[in-house]
Chain A
Amino acid sequence: MSEALNVNTMADLMAKGEKPEVLFWVGCAGSFDDRAKKITRSFVKILNKVGVNFAILGTEESCTGDPAKRAGNEILFQMQAMTNIQVLNEYEVKKIVTTCPHCFNTLKNEYPGLGGDYEVMHHTQLLQGLMNEGKLKIEGGKFKGKKIAFHDPCYLGRGNGEYEAPRALLEELDAELIELKRCRSKGLCCGAGGAQMFKEAEPGTKEVNIERMEDVVEAKPDIVAVGCPFCMTMMTDGVKNKEKEDTLKIYDLAELIAEGNGL
């Protein structure tokens, strides 16, 4: 039985003459990828619980253009960006939150030069803010005694210098936070960035996500927390490849927090 989520679109709110506090940029993976949709729903449940006044663009949202840009198609990127910026500016959006570090990076860093200036946050940053303000209580009982490692997404960590927000959230979970051998600025890519997600890898001796999964196997966590829908795909595939499905779970931070709060 599907649980109805309380989600407004910008168009809904505009019809009522209202404006949300923050726009939730869902992203293509969050909208269409079955696994990532669970992350989207978890994040929305948290926003609903805390009472954050948010809205989505819904069918008016379109790819930020990030994979086109990283694949070298700057023309398509800028066309996507300018289309999105027209929509965002029409709705007078000031603040954006997204669960995808690629959307986050593009919206935050690459849109301003094309006329789109917004305060952009990764969902872990927004959640950390809510936690610090005391609005979001993170119940960690369910994870007591579990070992959780965080896999840094390239475009959040190295790309934008954010290493602390995800870890601050994990510390609240009452779990044992462990680090992978390669973490923070030395964190190894999952293999999906730069449009690799959408193609087979070049010939080599190993897949990048398998190399990364070996770091995970060595550190022996019960859970690997991720903050990116593409890392989610790559890490989940890695777990299957190593046949660790029974002992190793991959969750997005939003899922862990929603789960901890019984959402």
Chain B
Amino acid sequence: MGLENILFIVVLATAVFWFSKNLKTIIRNINLGKDLDISDNKTERWKKMLMIAIGQSKMVKKPISGLMHIVVYAGFVIINIEVLEIVIDGILGTHRVFAAPLGGFYDFLIASFEVLALLVLTACVIFLIRRNLLSIKRFGFREMIGWPKTDANIILIVEVLLMGAFLKMNAADSILQARGVEHYSQAGAFPVSSMIVPLLEGFSTSSLIVFERVTWWFHIIGIFLFLNYLPYSKHFHIILAFPSVFYSKLKPKGEFDNMASVKKEVELMFDPSADPYAAPAEPEGPIERFGAKDVQDLSWKQLMDSYSCTECGRCSEQCPAAQTGKLLSPRKIMMDTRDRLEEVGKNIDQHGVEHQDGKSLLGDYIQEEELWACTTCNACVDACPIELNPLSIIMDMRRSLVMEESKVPSELAGMITNIENNGAPWQFAQADRANWINED
């Protein structure tokens, strides 16, 4: 084992260590959310995940970006087989270790990786053009200004560089193979990188070995850095999109959950045998807040979804409120949830679990005006390629506003009073309910 291999093992171990450390923090943050049992209908959930996450069925509702996304996704998944080989080569100091056991199939594999790499590279360039040169409305919302836009560009540029390095590495490798250089045994077919070969053929063997090594290291270190960039980026969706779809809502979209905490109280009110003078029972465990004021009041699923959101903006593009210039943008609800959760997580890391920073998701990140603009039409939920549910967060925050803080727009307060007094949202007497029979 040479110095290069030892160096590689150190780099690999560092990359894996940092990634798992950050992953643990994210899991810890997600678990700050409330318990929610979603263990039902496993078969249906697997099917849904197969269709929507693995099969990308909702992505292609927008054919251009959907198909290009499938190219990048397929490229990512398949080229990872090559990464596995690179890692083994790195540890053992071998050259294309899969070639011997796979035989002729290896040539086919490498050739298809090359084609995919070219497709991914092309798709990423087009994505960059779409994001930066074309004025596509959903990339221009206010929540996309600054870091979110930079984040998207970093991801795309890194992918272009990685694919470029992969092809250049193969080109140099294939020349070295052809020249019969020791260590570079004959392996692989190179339909794409062969186009770069003429540019490199003039170089000496020793220069090409350096070039091949540099691109090899650039490619693999790039992948390790990218892996460790994920936890800081919207690109984390490549991991969490799968569980987000698996645990997504199976019930009709129109159905909103009946809050169990409210049900207990209302059932007591309706129980004729309940003693009206009884002292209230000691609450079991901490007193639960109605609705969500901060991230800890949301469920782990809602928090996980905030990490899964890749800020594509299909939700906000379909939202009737966002389309008519209201402050609400469902994508911003997801992004704010993640930003606040990250902040709460950092507070815990720095000051311990009990630390209160006096801030909350509702108020410091999301304004009442955004929440009241929602028509609960489910367009955002329907549009999301991975079944995230910004509407459920909006509803939980409305519940907090209304039931915890009594902050209701005055017209809605009137509507509520009417229902309380006469069983209709308008001021009509319940006794007049059937008057329509005799009117024309």
CB within 8 Å of B: which residues of A?
1-5, 7, 9, 26, 28, 30-33, 37, 40-41, 44, 56, 58-59, 61-63, 65, 67-76, 78-80, 82, 86, 105, 108-110, 113-114, 154-155, 158-161, 185-186, 188-189, 191-208, 210-212
Are B266 and A79 in contact (CB-based, < 8 A)? yes
With beta carbons under 8 angstroms apart, the residue of B327, B379, B381 that contacts A188 is B379
Residue among B262, B320, B424 with the highest chain A CB neighbour number at 10 A: B320
Q: Is B252 a contact of A31 with CB atoms below 8 Å?
A: no
A72 contacts which chain B residues (CB < 8 A)?
A: 291, 395, 398-403, 408
Name B356-386 residues within 8 Å CB distance of A.
369, 372-379, 381-382
Q: Collect the chain A residues with CB atoms within 8 Å of residue B376's CB.
A: 70, 154, 193-194
Q: Are A194 and B374 closer than 8 Å at their CB atoms?
A: yes
Closest-by-CB residue of A relative to B414 is A198
Confirm or deny: B425 has a beta carbon within 8 angstroms of a beta carbon on chain A.
Answer: yes
- Chain B residues numbered 412-429 whose CB sits less than 8 Å from any CB in chain A: 412, 414-416, 419-420, 423-426, 428
Q: Given A62-B423, A211-B320, do A79 and B269 touch, yes or no (CB 8 Å)?
A: yes
A154–B431 Cα distance when bound, in Å, is: 31
| B375 touching A196, Cβ below 8 Å | yes
A193 and B419 form a contact (CB under 8 A): no
- How many residues of chain B have a CB within 8 Å of chain A? 69
Contact: A71 with B255, CB < 8 Å? Answer: no
Instruction: Return chain A residues, CB-CB under 8 Å to B375.
Output: 154, 189, 191-194, 196, 208
Q: Give the complex CA separation of A36 and B411 in angstroms.
A: 21
CB pairs A–B below 8 angstroms (15 shown): A31-B424, A31-B436, A62-B423, A65-B419, A72-B402, A73-B416, A74-B399, A110-B256, A160-B252, A160-B253, A195-B415, A199-B411, A203-B325, A204-B321, A205-B324
CA distance A208 to B416 in the complex (A): 23
Contact A198–B320 (Cβ < 8 Å): no
Q: How far is the CB of A202 from chain B (nearest CB, A)?
A: 4
B438 near A71: Cβ-Cβ < 8 Å: no
B277 within 8 A of A: no
Instruction: Give A187 Cβ to nearest chain B Cβ, in Å.
Output: 8
Instruction: Name, among B324, B378, B430, B435, the residue most crowded by chain A CB atoms within 10 Å (CB to CB).
Output: B324
Once A75-B403, A82-B270 are accepted as A-B contacts, the answer to whether A63 and B424 lie under 8 Å apart by CB is yes
Apart from A109-B251, A154-B377, A199-B411, 15 more pairs, CB < 8 Å: A28-B424, A59-B434, A67-B415, A72-B408, A109-B254, A114-B263, A158-B379, A188-B320, A198-B411, A198-B415, A200-B411, A201-B373, A205-B325, A206-B325, A208-B324
Instruction: State whether A185 touches B382 (Cβ < 8 A).
Output: yes
Cβ B290 vs Cβ A208 within 8 A: no
Using CB atoms, name the residue of chain A closest to B318: A186
- Which residues in A have their C-beta under 8 angstroms from that of B377? 154, 158, 189, 193-194
Known interface pairs A63-B425, A185-B382, A202-B327; A160-B254 also in contact (CB < 8 Å): yes
Is the CB–CB distance between B432 and A32 below 8 Å?
Answer: yes
Partner of A26, one of B412, B431, B433: B433
Q: How far is the CB of B373 from chain A (nearest CB, A)?
A: 4
Cβ contacts under 8 Å, A210 to chain B: 324
The answer to whether B254 and A158 touch across the interface, beta carbons within 8 angstroms, is: yes
Please measure, in the bound complex, the distance between the C-alpha atom of A40 and the C-alpha atom of B435, giving whole angstroms: 11
Asked whether any CB of chain A lies closer than 8 Å to the CB of B437, the reply is yes
Residues of B within 8 A of A59 (CB): 430-431, 433-434
CA distance A193 to B374 in the complex (A): 8
B409 at the A interface (CB under 8 A) = yes
B265 at the interface (CB under 8 A from A): yes
Whether B320 pairs with A191 at a CB distance below 8 angstroms is yes
- In the complex the two chains form, is B252's CB within 8 Å of A110's CB? no
Residues of B within 8 A of A194 (CB): 374-377
Is A75's CB under 8 angstroms from B326's CB?
no
With both beta carbons as reference points, the residue of chain B lying nearest to A4 in the complex is identified as: B438
User: Is the CB of B440 closer than 8 A to any CB of chain A?
Assistant: yes
Determine whether the beta carbon of A63 is less than 8 Å from that of B403.
Answer: no
Please report the C-alpha to C-alpha distance between residue A18 and residue B327 in the assembled complex, in whole angstroms: 54
Query: Which chain A residues lie closer than 8 Å to B118 at the CB level?
Result: none
Let me know if B150 is at the binding interface, CB within 8 A: no
Residues on B with beta carbons closer than 8 Å to the beta carbon of A7: 434, 437
Is B204 at the interface (CB under 8 A from chain A)?
no
Query: B328 on the interface (CB 8 Å rule)?
Result: yes
Q: Complex: how many Å from CA A3 to CA B327?
A: 48
A31-B433 in contact given A73-B403, A109-B254 (Cβ < 8 Å) = yes
B258, CB-defined interface residue at 8 Å = yes
Distance to closest chain A CB from B138 (angstroms): 15
Q: Return B401 CB to nearest CB of chain A, in Å.
A: 6
Q: Which single member of B255, B402, B434 contacts A56 (CB below 8 Å)?
A: B434
Whether A67 and B434, one on each chain, are in contact in the complex, defined by CB atoms closer than 8 angstroms, is: no
Chain A, residue nearest B291 (CB): A72
Closest 3 CB pairs of A and B: A159-B254, A205-B325, A194-B376
> Given known contacts A109-B255, A198-B412, A202-B326, is B373 in contact with A31 (CB within 8 Å)?
no
Q: Does B14 contact A (CB under 8 A)?
A: no
The answer to whether A61 and B415 touch across the interface, beta carbons within 8 angstroms, is no
Q: How far is the CA of A197 from the CA of B254 in the complex (A)?
A: 17
Interfacial chain A residues near B434, Cβ < 8 Å: 7, 9, 26, 31, 56, 58-59
Q: What's the minimum C-beta distance from B173 to chain A, rounded to whole angstroms?
A: 49
Contact partner of B415 (CB less than 8 A), chosen from A71, A185, A205, is A71
B439 interfacial contact with A, CB 8 Å: yes
